[in-house]
Amino acid sequence: MTSPVLVVGARGLLGRAVARAATAQGRPWRPAEVGWSSPDAVAHVVDAVQRAHDDWHDDWGVAWCAGASVTGATTAQVDAEVRTMTAVVTELVARRLAPPRFFFASSAGAVFAGAPEPPFTELSEPRPLAPYGHGKLRLEEQVRSLAADGTRVLVGRISNLYGPGQNLAKDQGLVSRLVRSSLVRQPVGIYVSLDTIRDYLFVDDCARMVLDGIDLLASKDAGPPVTKIFASQQGTTIATLLGYSRQVLGRSVLVTLGGSDLARQQARDLRFRSVVWTELDRRSLTTLPDGIHATSIDLRQNLAAGRL
């Protein structure tokens, strides 16, 4: 079963990949953008949901891939994003437009940044270190509240996402920054130790998991919201990532090691293991070298077009 999907944030890293995956599957989909700074942000999303209801009736889902803040966001920036999401949910409920199925993209690294004893599972207690992580938990709760109106909800806590389409204007995306560093021969700053462990998940793999998760919601009995970790479930140190980058790109990546106040918001070990809906994890995943190569092709094209 392949349900139609409304992709909120279809111009972002994950949203673009979900749209690509839906197209490859022959799945009906349409985009919706939030426009976080627009006074009409809430109306745009609610109107898109209304059109989806009118056209697809009870057999479709939302893939919420949009986000305004990043790891180093301030409390004020996070609060603004939460207010917008709260207004969207409130309006959907008031207009009886709660979608049949709803996937929300959250951040595993943000919500478990201060938790002890990795690898973390869905049973681990969240312990954010920064406003960004606390904001993600608040956003998750807003989405879960839709279940009271009959929506089947899946919260995806996603590990370090990377791949073609990363927005380098935001302070995120180490893999893309390493590739860019190699292409333009400018150093990238790293402010955590090289033995820092992260779980890198290729965006196209994640996108297919998202769509399969929305379909799986339709096949399950109605129940409480589901929270699942989306990850490769393989830990990689930054030192190893540098080695892979050198291997794939054919030359060393220029880096500078330094300090930053943001380092206090970063855990040394963010490994993950999913114990919920493990059928979604039974797939071949893109290897890090192959993912770095795909990212480099995308960035080379952007460089040639003057967009980098």
Q: What are phi and psi of 228, to 5 degrees?
A: -135, 140
Instruction: Give the tens place of pLDDT for each residue, 278-297.
Output: 999 999 999 999 999 999 99
Number of domains in the chain: 1
Query: Which residues share a beta bridge with 156?
Result: 105, 228
Task: Residue 180: give the domain boundaries.
Answer: 5-304
Residue indicated by tokens 């003057």: 306
pLDDT band at 307 (very low <50, low <70, confident <90, very high): confident
| One-letter identity of residue 306 | G
Q: Which two tokens stand for residue 142?
A: 């807003």
pLDDT band at 266 (very low <50, low <70, confident <90, very high): confident
Distances (CA, A) of 48 to 7, 32, 53: 10, 6, 9
Burial letters 158-186, b for 16+ CB under 10 A, else e: bbbbbbbbbeeebebbbbbbbbbbbbeee
With a cut of 70, say whether residue 1 has pLDDT above it: no
CATH number for the domain spanning 198: value is 3.40.50.720
Distances (CA, A) of 43 to 23, 36, 49: 26, 11, 10
Start-to-end Cα distance in the chain: 39
Q: Distance from CA of residue 121 to its chain's centroid? A: 17
Instruction: Give the tens place of pLDDT for each residue, 61-114.
Output: 999 999 998 888 999 999 999 999 999 999 999 999 999 999 999 999 999 999
Nearest to 307 by CA among 185, 17, 299, 188: 299
pLDDT band at 166 (very low <50, low <70, confident <90, very high): confident
Q: Which two tokens stand for residue 214?
A: 């929305």
CA atoms lying within 13 Å on the CB side of residue 63: 33
**Residue range 31-50: mean pLDDT, rounded:** 93
**Percent helix, percent strand, percent coil in the chain, to nearest 5:** 45, 15, 40
Nearest to 278 by CA among 235, 232, 228, 215: 228
Instruction: For residues 5 and 101, give the distance between their C-alpha atoms in angstroms, rounded to a whole number.
Output: 9
pTM over 0.85: yes
Is cis: bond before 225, omega within 30 of 0? no
Helix (H) / strand (E) containing 197? strand 197-198
Q: Which two tokens stand for residue 8?
A: 């909120």
Asked which of 171-180, 261-270, 283-292 is least confident by mean pLDDT, the reply is 261-270
Instruction: For residues 128 and 113, give the distance between their C-alpha atoms in angstroms, rounded to a whole number.
Output: 5
